[in-house]
Each structure stands twice: as structure tokens, then as C-alpha cells.
Structure 1
Amino acid sequence: MIDKTKIAILTTVANFELYKKTATIFPENIDKIAIDGTTGLYGLNSIDFMFQKLKNKKYEWIIMADEDVFFYDSNLIFDLIDHMDKNDYQICGVRDGGLIKHRFHNPEAINTFFSILNFKKLAENYNFQLVKTYQKFIPEIYTNKDYSFLKYNYDIQSLKEPYYCFYFWAILNDFKILYLDTINPVNDDQTGNIILDLNGNKIAFHSWYARAYKVYEDQTIRIDAFLNEFQIQAAYLNMKNVIVFKKRFFNLKKRLKGIIKKSIKK
């Protein structure tokens, strides 16, 4: 098995109130890392920030999981990482098209709500400026691919998420992706999905709409029901046990770049 001191679980947190609850059932005995996403740092920018902060550190494997991911059995994660290591997979996760009814986008890209990265190998070749050039439709990615097993709609030309380029870059640079299956809908809930391992075991449930928790009543009631189901409604993580990264003035810099771009166009 992989040395757990070389594994971390990283969350780009948009809602710390929810994170402090769900992170109590995150995989145990590994470092918890939170990137502060409350100022708009998420997606591709968060991925790049992760590489900046963790490159040349001790971590070989990074589990990316949003704060609206509820883990069933953390041991399944370590079994999955062991399988990836033995079979030379560098990335795993759930497709963002064809497997979840409301995610009808690109079937070759992973949705970042849950993913496992062989961080050590990826970091050796990662270059942000190069990765960004892959955010386009690249026909050879889809050559000889069979999508007939997908149960919902998908779009191979979709560039819905700006972070797709990271996965396109990985595919075209011979990094292997292990695509996981998922269940959606889940009972009466049409939105949530259950992530499955290779043997069909339930790894985690993803509720979606973390940003809406304690903001909109309908999603707060819905997510509270899941917190009760997983018996973590009263749980509260001590943030002293979490490594927190913040990118100072990120939102301000982003606005200034937008203003500069507009002024140049004028």
C-alpha cells in the first residue's frame, strides 16, 4: 500500500461551514488541505495554485474532493490509489458528460468534484501556460472512442468548464485516466450522484450545490438531510488540523485584469 504520509486530500472550499462538517468523514490519517475559494479562486486557477503550493513537497498522491462530497468508506480510496499505482494510472474520476443527467458536457474530461491525481508524476511535466493551450476541441482525443455505454447526453465539443484543458493536456501527453462509474439519480434525489469503485462499491455521495448551503433555503434543507443521513449534522472539524492556502487579493487582481482587457479592446 502507498505510504499515507505521501497522500493528501485537497478541497477548494467555497463554503467553510459545510466543509467543517463533511471533512470529519474524509479519509483518515492523511493531511487535509483547503484552498480558500471564497474569493472566486476555483477551477483551473485552483488547480494551478495547487501545483504552485505543493510542487516539490512530500505528496505523491492528491485526492481532490469538494466539500459537498460525503465519503462512505475511506479505505476504498486507498485501495483505489493502490490500484492506480500498480496499473500506471495518473488520474481518476467521473466523466463530465453522459453519466450524470444534469452534466451533459464533455465525456473525456473529469469533473473536479472528485478526482485522484498521481501528483508527483503530473507535476514533473505540468506547465500552466502550456496546459491552457489545450482548451479547444481536439479531434484526435475522440478518435476510435466508443461512448455507446453512456446513459445520458454528452457533447464531445463541449468546453463548458475552463479546467477541461488540464485533462485534455493529460490525455495528449500519455497520462492514463481511470474513469469511474457513478449512480444518478440517487433514490428520489435527481441531482446527487454516488461515485463507485471498480468493484461497484460506494466510495462517496456528491450532493452538488455546496455554494448554496445556508444561502438558499431549499438547498440548505436538502443538504442538511444528507448530513443527517451520514450522521454528521452536529460534527464540526477543528480547522487547526487543516493546512489552509489563501491567494491574497485574487479577486481584486482578477477584476483588474478584466478592466485592463476591456480598456485594450476599446
Structure 2
Amino acid sequence: MNRFSFNQITAKHWALTDLVKGCVDAGVDKVALWREPVTEYGLDRSAALVRDAGLSVTTLCRSGFFQAPDWFDDNRRAIDEAAALDTKVLVLVSGGLPEGSKDIAGARAHVADAIAQLVPHAAAAGVTLAIEPLHPMYAADRCVINTWDQALSIAEQHPVGQVGVTVDTYHLWWDDTVLGKIERAGDRIAIYQLADWITPLPAGVLTGRGLPGDGCVDMRAFHQAVAKAGYTGPIEVEVMNEELWQRPGPEILAATIAGYRSI
């Protein structure tokens, strides 16, 4: 449990003040925060809230979406927000194809160029940009970076500590080559996230993830792979699930801890 981090999206409707109190009451000292609720509560107030409660922020989720016209300014703001929250990791979801485009190779090249433009600002702020490859079903509209190789090839263009890769079991479990590649990734692993793949897939695939142990992902194999890579940092549970979100926050946290402990 000393590595466990509760990702805010797992209890999407739990107010930030209540989430912080719930974590303290449960003995959880790490949280991952999302930009939207932080902005709603206020950046400075959010930073003070978690700091005064003795919590550390393992990541800020999320930025990227480089197909958007305002991607540069928005990502610079996200880097500043991460620094204000005293987290070292900003998770990047690359974004999908520009409207009307079919040029996925061009979109991927743009992601690499965009990250290169952001690195100086992130490095100055002490924030690592953590590229998250998403499952290929999201390639068109959400994330054109879909494999470990694609993410790592971008990260390796920059110094370790400035750009890394996010290991998310939900998005990577299907790839029969990924475990060995993760083992060799070393310090490029910026954050490790858990969510399970459950079937049958719900209508809203984005919000159909399971708590660890509820689906078909071999979590222990991922644990072994990141350990062999030398990763000893936080382990976030990040689950988006409509049914789970309907439960009270303390119940969600308790179920999340139980799932984490089960693997």
C-alpha cells in the first residue's frame, strides 16, 4: 500500500474535498488529480488542500490532444498546473486525427514535433511529460499513439526525466510483445496505472473499465515487467466505469483498495 495512488477519475463524482478526506481516513497518502476538477475547485486551493492533508500528487491527468488548434497554449498551462500541484508527471494523451483527415502518419509526426516544442518549458518546470499509448480502438478520435514502440520512440528523442511513457494495463494488455519491451524500458517508465479489461464491452467503451482483478488482464505479469525495468514509483488505479461512479466515494475507494490488494 505504500505505492498505491488513488486516481481521481475512479470516483469521478466525489468532490475533491471529500476525496481528500476519504483518502486520509483510509490511510491513503497518494492521489492522481485531473485538470477539470482541479480547475473547478481552483488550482491554488487544490494545491493547498492536498498539501495540508499530507497527500502527494503522483500525476496530473491529462494534457496533449495535439490536434486541437490551441494545443500549445493549453499544454503549457497544464505543465504550469502540474508544477503548482508539486507533481513531477503530466500524462499526455496525444489526441486523434484532425477533423476530416485520414493521415495518421502525419498526425503521429505532429505529436512528436509538438512534444519537442513543449520539452523546454516542462524541463524548466521540473515536470516529466508521460506519453500514454491508448488502445488502437481510440486511434481515430482520441489517441494516434497506440503502441509502446510508438510512445517510446518519441520519448527516446529526449533526455530521461524529461519525456517518459505511461504503462496503463488497460491499453497495453493485448500486445503480445509489450511485457518484454517494458522490462527493457528502464527509467523511461514515468508512471504505472492499473485498470482491467472486462467483457462484454459496454456501449460506452471509454467508461467500461474494471477494477483490478475484475477482468482478463494478467496484472501480475505487468507487475513483474515494471519491476524488472527497475520502476519503484507509485502505482495508480485509474478506472472509468459508469456503474462504479454511481456508488458513494468511500465505497469506491474501499473497492479500489481491495482490487489493488488482490493482485
State the TM-score, normalized to the length of structure 1: 0.33
> Which one has the bigger helix percentage?
2
State the TM-score, normalized to the length of structure 2: 0.33
User: Who wins on radius of gyration, i.e. which is larger?
Assistant: 1
> Which one has the bigger strand percentage?
1
